[in-house]
């Protein structure tokens, strides 16, 4: 029998390869916004904010300086490429996780590809709120393992400050969020020990009203959630509801991922977690008996930076020498959607 001829353009048979992190980078905007600054703008106090969230400062974009989601993403990706010793043209695909795209069309990732000089490679935006970067890591891994792509930039960038109100009417959300971007370059490698060990991606759209940004008034909103004109394009959040959801879900999804991998929490070298609230992170540390060194917290300096939060932590930890080749690292996030997920790697 003659062999079946190859179909031109067919998807390649998945090769036996691993996936590695080749470089990481991050960028913060220029405008610091401390709790003392917020005290001048709204009825709040440093003590209230620190006690409830652990946040002392954050950075927000300065539009007068031309800063935006795109410029932050560009800076972070350039730094990641430099660290990887790669040219923009070495990339095959860019995945940009963001919920604050410059416009709804075009995808901000396309402009990012053009701005860094990556040519006409594929570029997609992923919208999964604070889970965007973790979801995108899992997606990029699968695309590389399939043999379709060899080098993918995964970027998380958000400027939620544009959806916040910096006066007393917006104090329950304005204190939480900061702007930032982080990027990682994933590449195929012959070292099959490197790559994803286990992952989880979940959503519960029935709870969407716990965290949302109304775009117009002509939609169906559940009773009690109908926005007034001043709520348009402003973050609406059920703080207590999200807090309760996060404390439980955060630990459960870590446990589920450890179980899937057949590992114990003590086998993990570093937990790189979405920074939503220092109390939520401390609760996870306590549940798994982790030391401060193993579950990183930087929310005091940068606030909750949405999809940028996980790659920003990754970059800081890598630069500090606290994450290195050979480590087992679990990325964890949750957020609007509601969404939650993990990505456990052997680096
Ligand atoms: N400064 C001072 N007082 C404030 C305030 C602020 N910035 N924001 C709200 N308050 C007031 C409220 O008006 C309320 O006053 P009242 O009792 O007179 O009505 C009181 O503080 C308590 O508000 P509440 O919302 O119940 O506070 P809380 O203890 O739940 O803390 C959060 C609020 C937002 C810090 C907390 O719920 C939280 O962190 N939730 C999770 C949010 C999150 O992580 N979101 C992102 C997910 S990715």
48 touches ligand 1 (CB under 6 Å): yes
Same domain, 142 and 256: no
Active site residue ranges? 130, 274, 304
Same domain, 219 and 273: yes
Whether 32 maps to a domain, the answer reads yes
Same domain, 180 and 255: no
Q: Which atom of ligand 1 is nearest to the CA of 173?
A: 34
Name the residue with the closest Cα to ligand 1, atom 47: 335
Whether 283 maps to a domain, the answer reads yes
CA of 282 relative to ligand 1 center, distance in Å: 18
Using the Cα atoms of residue 224, residue 230, residue 233 and residue 238 in order, give the sign of their dihedral: negative
Same domain, 25 and 172: yes
Same domain, 248 and 301: yes
Same domain, 206 and 133: no
CATH number for position 141 = 3.40.47.10
CA of 49 relative to ligand 1 center, distance in Å: 9
CA of 306 relative to ligand 1 center, distance in Å: 18
| pTM: predicted TM-score of the whole model, two decimal places | 0.95
44 touches ligand 1 (CB under 6 Å): yes
Same domain, 131 and 260: no
Write out the residue range of the structural domain in which residue 242 sits.
Answer: 195-346
277 touches ligand 1 (CB under 6 Å): yes
β-pairing verdict for 151-158 and 93-97: parallel
Q: What is the pLDDT along the chain (347 residues), one digit of tens a residue?
A: 444 556 766 766 677 899 999 999 999 999 999 999 999 999 999 999 999 999 999 999 999 999 999 999 999 999 999 999 999 999 999 999 999 999 999 999 999 999 999 999 999 999 999 999 999 999 999 999 999 999 999 999 999 999 999 999 999 999 999 999 999 999 999 999 999 999 999 999 999 999 999 998 888 888 888 888 899 999 999 999 999 999 999 999 999 999 999 999 999 999 999 999 999 999 999 999 999 899 999 999 999 999 999 999 999 999 999 999 999 999 999 999 999 999 999 99
Question: What's the first-to-final CA gap in the chain, in angstroms?
Answer: 44
């Amino acid at each position: 029998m003659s062999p079946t001829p190859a179909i031109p353009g067919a998807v390649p048979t998945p090769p036996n390869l691993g996936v590695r992190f080749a470089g990481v980078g991050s960028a913060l905007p220029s405008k610091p916004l401390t709790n003392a600054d917020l005290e001048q703008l709204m009825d709040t106090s440093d003590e209230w904010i620190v006690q409830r969230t652990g946040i002392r400062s954050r950075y927000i974009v300065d539009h007068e300086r031309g800063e935006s989601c795109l410029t932050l993403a560009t800076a972070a990706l350039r730094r990641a490429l430099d660290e990887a010793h790669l040219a923009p043209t070495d990339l095959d695909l860019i995945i940009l996780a963001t919920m604050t795209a410059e416009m709804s069309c075009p995808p901000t990732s396309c402009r990012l590809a053009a701005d860094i000089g990556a040519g006409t490679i594929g570029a997609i935006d992923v919208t999964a709120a604070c889970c965007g970067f973790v979801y995108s890591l899992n997606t990029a891994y699968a695309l590389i393992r399939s043999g379709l792509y060899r080098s993918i930039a995964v970027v998380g960038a958000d400027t939620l400050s544009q959806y916040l109100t910096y006066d007393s009417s917006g104090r329950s959300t304005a204190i939480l969020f900061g702007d930032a971007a982080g990027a990682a370059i994933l590449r195929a490698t012959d070292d099959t020990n490197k790559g994803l060990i286990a992952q989880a991606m979940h959503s519960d759209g029935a709870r969407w009203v716990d965290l949302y940004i109304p775009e117009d008034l002509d939609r169906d909103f559940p009773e009690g959630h109908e926005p007034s004109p001043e709520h348009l394009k402003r973050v609406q959040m059920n703080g207590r509801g999200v807090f309760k959801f996060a404390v439980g879900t955060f630990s459960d999804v870590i446990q589920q991922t450890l179980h899937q991998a057949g590992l114990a929490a003590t086998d993990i070298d570093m937990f790189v977690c979405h920074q939503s609230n220092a109390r939520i992170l401390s609760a996870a540390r306590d549940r798994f008996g982790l030391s401060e060194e193993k579950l990183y917290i930087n929310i005091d300096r940068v606030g909750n930076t949405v999809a940028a939060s996980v790659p920003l932590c990754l970059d800081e930890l890598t630069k500090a020498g606290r994450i290195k080749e050979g480590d087992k690292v679990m990325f964890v996030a949750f957020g609007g959607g509601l969404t939650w997920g993990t990505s456990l790697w052997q680096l």
